[in-house]
Structure 1
Amino acid sequence: MSAKVTPRTAEPTASLESRIRSRYEQMSAVEQKLSDVILASPGHLAMQTATELATSAGVSKATTTRFFRALGYDSYEKARRDARKASSGGSPLYLQHMGDEERDPQALIQHHLSQEISNLVKTYESLSQADLFQMAQAIAHARRVVLIGYRHSQTVAVMFRSNLIQVRSDILLLPVPGDSLAEYLAGLDERDVAICIGLRRRLPQLERGMAAMQALGVQILYISDVLAGKPAKLARWVIRCHTEGTLMFDSNSSVAGITNLLCSLVGRELASEKSTHLADAEVLHQQLGELE
């Protein structure tokens, strides 16, 4: 059956799924069948040959080849490379098939646990002890600490702040909903430390914010995954956390461990002071009756 979708050049940045959805209603029944198979688990495309995809969809290889050309791809391999890029970029949509080969629930859980442990071990083994204590000292004695994270990385920044605020004051969590960064970055200088969280699927705003802070002389700690990307060159210190997952989401165990470790080291650094923020906060907790 010949394709009903007229081939045309797609936007270079358009994802596979957006190309399909934009033309789905104009496709033939056979093409829609192929589309449904792809959209159900686009990550499989990164591993399948054109013949394998055609077989799983119950269509001919020729139909599959015409289908991708109609979507604006030069070839099936080009679409496959895009799928691989999306998978390596951490898109859950392209990783939802992970773990499908595990039929035994206990084996699946054990595999997941083993990977979590491996991520922790590899991350801690990669740390420089000298750098780690230098980071803790800088965070402890900075005039102000700025925490920046977008999307999932902000969840980590919030966790970092919830620990750090117990041992020192003047911590700023960005971005503030509804505000831009400029007003908050304008007063920063070399006396301040910025902790920037940039796990994969980073937003471009992070790199721009880090570049602005570097120009202001701010000391920057960048916490990321192993593929830290371009923002790493803007930081004084970089911690690369191993985040490989066995299922559709990246592992957070090493990131949580590093957060706990660094905040604890900052608290230890400040513990020798006569009057500590931690002690003062505990007195106020009691006065305010905040904790059971």
Structure 2
Amino acid sequence: MTTVRIDERIATHRASLSPQERRAADTLLQHLDDLATYRAAELADLAGVSKATMSRLFRSLGYADFDEVRDHLRAQRVAGEPRQLNAPASLPAHARAEAATIATVVGQPGVVPAVAALASARRVHVVGWRGSHAVALHLRQQLAQARPDVRLAPLPGQVMGEELADVDAGDAVLLVGFRRRPVGFSAFLADAVATGADIVLLADPTAADHRRHLGPRGTWLGCPIATELAFDSYAAAMSMAAVLADGVLAARGAAGRERVTTISNAYLRLREIE
């Protein structure tokens, strides 16, 4: 039962709860987003019930005590759900942690082979779903400044079958796979590897099991996104996008510089930017 969310447990057991326990349960639901920041006694006061009633509620829901509730909420946060675990959050500490993560991410050895693959490929396919799609979109925009034929997938309203049909040896697939990935992620990775293309997997530690499926032409770029805040941070991922694009631009040499100039001149002719 440990995987069942606390709100689902309340819904399942509500009919069997006493009136006081229901009152306490309603308070838990009202504070679900920041529940872990309270103590059990504080929750009892908020609900207007005794600490004994609150303890009985936790046991009725299948928890030994409030510490187990906290552990359950932390597990949900690790899975990617936005949950406040500390209140108030220390923003200076958050900023320091972000800086340390960025330094580790951009300095990892996999950056060099990833840049080489992205610079030399005939075509680059940048792929990402859900939260990963925003990173993929930015990566595509950055890489397209440095080299031609950079594609983004999936496009709105599209599925992946037709995208894979165009991938073959000589291409590179930059797959962004941060947590809360779609169910078909592993199947897509397997099919992409089977094409013979170079694969670059940019993902957080929850995707570590996928590393063994990358094959000899695969590169892993680990990028943590977990924070002490309620939401994940993609600061390191965006820094990685800049580092990869910078590396590709340098590797392309004169061709890359000429492309930047051509694009900038097009902006001016079309009056697209200030």
Q: TM-score range by the shorter chain?
A: 0.7 to 0.9
Q: Which amino acid aligns with 1:99?
A: A
Q: Which amino acid aligns with 1:281?
A: I
Question: 2:250 corresponds to which residue?
Answer: 268
Give the deviation of 1:158 after TM superposition. Answer: 1.0
Classify the secondary structure of the residue corresponding to 1:172: strand
> Any conservation in 1 of the 2:24–2:47 contact (CA below 8 Å)?
yes
1:36 aligned to which of 26, 35, 45: 26
TM-score (norm 2): 0.81
Structure 1's 74 and 168: CA in aligned 2 closer, same or farther, altered over 3 A? Answer: same
Q: Does 1:141 align with 2:149?
A: no
Q: Which amino acid aligns with 1:169?
A: P
How high is the sequence identity, in percent, across the aligned residues? 28
The Cα offsets for residues 215-267 of structure 1, whole Å up to 9 and x where unpaired, read as 22222111122343322323311111233423212222211111100011111
Q: Which amino acid aligns with 1:88?
A: V
Distance 1:284 1:63 in 2: 69
Distance 1:69 1:97 in 2: 22
The Cα offsets for residues 117-171 of structure 1, whole Å up to 9 and x where unpaired, read as 222223234x01xx42221121122122111112111111111111111122222
Q: Which amino acid aligns with 1:161?
A: R
Distance 2:103 2:170 in 1: 33
Q: Which amino acid aligns with 1:109?
A: L
Q: CA RMSD in A?
A: 3.2
1:246 aligned to which of 224, 228, 233: 228
Question: 2:154 corresponds to which residue?
Answer: 175
Give the deviation of 1:185 after TM superposition. Answer: 0.6
Any stretches of 5+ residues in structure 2 without a counterpart?
Answer: none
Structure 1's 40 and 97: CA in aligned 2 closer, same or farther, altered over 3 A? Answer: farther
Q: Does 1:186 align with 2:176?
A: no
Distance 2:262 2:255 in 1: 12
Give the deviation of 1:182 after TM superposition. Answer: 0.9
Q: Which amino acid aligns with 1:279?
A: T
Q: Which amino acid aligns with 1:16?
A: I
Any stretches of 5+ residues in structure 1 without a counterpart?
Answer: 1-9, 103-107
Classify the secondary structure of the residue corresponding to 2:173: strand
Classify the secondary structure of the residue corresponding to 2:184: helix
Distance 1:274 1:220 in 2: 22
Matches within 5 A, 1:204-223: 204-223=183-202
Aligned residues: 270
Q: Does 1:259 align with 2:238?
A: no
